[in-house]
Amino acid sequence: MGLLAAERAGIFGGAPLAQVQGLLHDLGKYTEPFQARLAGAPFRVDHSTWGAKIAAERFGPMGLLLAYGIAGHHAGLANGAGEGERTALCNRLAVDDLPALDACWQQDFALPSSLTVPAGFKAHSHERGQFQLAFLARMLFSCLVDADYIDTEAYYDSVEKRTSFRSGPAPTLEALRAELDKHLSRFMPDGDVNRLRADVLRHVRAQASQEAGLFSLTVPTGGGKTLASLAFALDHAIRHGLRRVVFVIPFTSIIEQNARVFREALGPLGDAAVLEHHSAFVEQPPAHGDPDRDQSARKLRLAMENWDAPIVVTTAVQFFESLFAARPSACRKLHNIAGSVVILDEAQMLPLRLLMPCVAAIDELARNYRTSVVLCTATQPALKAPEFADGLTCVRELAPDPPRLFQRLERVRIRHAGTWTDDDLSAQMRGREQVLCIVNNRRHARAVYESMAGLPGARHLSTFMCAKHRGKVLDEVRQLLRDKQPCRLVSTSLIEAGVDVDFPSVLRAEAGLDSIAQAAGRCNREGRRAPEHSEVLVFATANEDWAPPTDLVQFAQAGREVLHAHREDPLSPAAIESYFRQLYWQRGPQRLDACDLMGLLRGSRAESLPLETLAAKFRMIDDVQMPVIVPWDTEAKEALRALEFAEGSVRLARALQPYLVQIPRHAFAALREVGAVQPVRPDQWGEQFMALPSLDLYDKHVGLRWDNPTFIDAEKLHW
Per residue in 198-211, pLDDT tens?
999 999 999 999 99
Residue 356 — very low, low, confident or very high, per pLDDT cuts 50/70/90? very high
Looking at the chain, the whole-number percentage of residues with pLDDT higher than 90 is 54
Residue 160 — very low, low, confident or very high, per pLDDT cuts 50/70/90? low
Least-confidence region, from 60-74, 129-143, 156-170, 451-465:
156-170
Per residue in 263-297, pLDDT tens?
999 999 998 899 887 654 444 444 444 444 344 44
One-letter amino acid of 84: G
Report the alpha-carbon distance of residue 647 to residue 116 in Å, rounded. Answer: 46
pTM: 0.85
Backbone angles phi, psi at 217, to 5 degrees: -130, 100
Which residue from 316, 315, 347, 348 is spatially nearest to 513, judged by alpha carbons?
348
Q: What is the mean pLDDT of residues 74-98?
A: 93
Per residue in 645-681, pLDDT tens?
776 566 677 788 889 998 888 889 889 888 899 998 8
DSSP state for residue 39 in the 8-state scheme: T
Residue 553 — very low, low, confident or very high, per pLDDT cuts 50/70/90? confident
Per residue in 224-265, pLDDT tens?
889 999 999 999 999 999 999 999 998 776 777 788 899 999
Q: What long-range pairs does 291-296 form, CB within 8 A, spacing at least 24?
A: 291/44, 295/74, 296/152, 296/156
Torsion of CA 640, 644, 645, 650, to 10 degrees: 50
Report the alpha-carbon distance of residue 299 to residue 150 in Å, rounded. Answer: 8
pLDDT score of 298 more than 70: no
Helix ranges (H only) for 207-311 are 225-240, 255-265, 270-273, 291-302
Residue 480 — very low, low, confident or very high, per pLDDT cuts 50/70/90? very high
Helix ranges (H only) for 111-172 are 129-159
Per residue in 26-70, pLDDT tens?
888 888 888 887 777 777 778 889 999 999 999 999 999 999 999
Residue 647's pLDDT is what? 62
Q: What is the mean pLDDT of residues 339-357?
A: 92
Separation of first and last alpha carbons in the chain: 46
At the topology level, CATH places domain 187-278+306-406 in: Rossmann fold (3.40.50)
Q: What is the mean pLDDT of residues 561-589?
A: 86
One-letter amino acid of 104: C
DSSP state for residue 465 in the 8-state scheme: S
Torsion of CA 257, 261, 264, 265, to 10 degrees: -170
pLDDT score of 551 more than 80: no
How many whole angstroms from its chain centre is CA 236? 22
Question: What is the number of residues in the chain?
Answer: 719
Residue 713 — very low, low, confident or very high, per pLDDT cuts 50/70/90? very low
Looking at the chain, the whole-number percentage of residues with pLDDT higher than 70 is 90
Other Cβ atoms within 10 Å of 494 Cβ, number: 19
pLDDT score of 491 more than 60: yes
Beta strands in 378-523 (DSSP E): 395-397, 413-420, 434-438, 458-461, 487-491, 505-509
Residue 680's pLDDT is what? 87
Q: What is the mean pLDDT of residues 137-145?
A: 97
pLDDT winner (highest mean) among 167-171, 251-255, 541-545: 541-545
Per residue in 305-325, pLDDT tens?
789 889 999 999 999 999 999
232 compared with 353, residue with greater pLDDT? 232
Torsion of CA 524, 527, 533, 536, to 10 degrees: 30
pLDDT score of 389 more than 80: no
Residue 188 — very low, low, confident or very high, per pLDDT cuts 50/70/90? confident
Least-confidence region, from 185-194, 260-269, 543-552:
185-194
Which residue from 200, 215, 216 is spatially nearest to 576, judged by alpha carbons?
216
- Assess whether the region 187-278+306-406 and the region 411-570 belong to the same CATH fold: yes
Other Cβ atoms within 10 Å of 194 Cβ, number: 15
Alpha-carbon radius of gyration of the chain: 27
| DSSP notation for 327-373 | SHHHHTTGGGTTTEEEEEETGGGS-GGGHHHHHHHHHHHHHHS--EE
Per residue in 582-605, pLDDT tens?
888 777 777 889 899 999 999 899
Residue 283's pLDDT is what? 44
Beta bridge partners of 703: 699
Mean pLDDT of the chain: 87
- Which class would CATH give 411-570? alpha beta
Domains of the chain by residue range: 2-159, 187-278+306-406, 411-570, 625-716
157 compared with 349, residue with greater pLDDT? 349
Q: What is the mean pLDDT of residues 167-195?
A: 87
Residue 632's pLDDT is what? 92
Which residue from 382, 388, 299 is spatially nearest to 347, judged by alpha carbons?
382
Residue 406's pLDDT is what? 87
pLDDT score of 709 more than 60: no
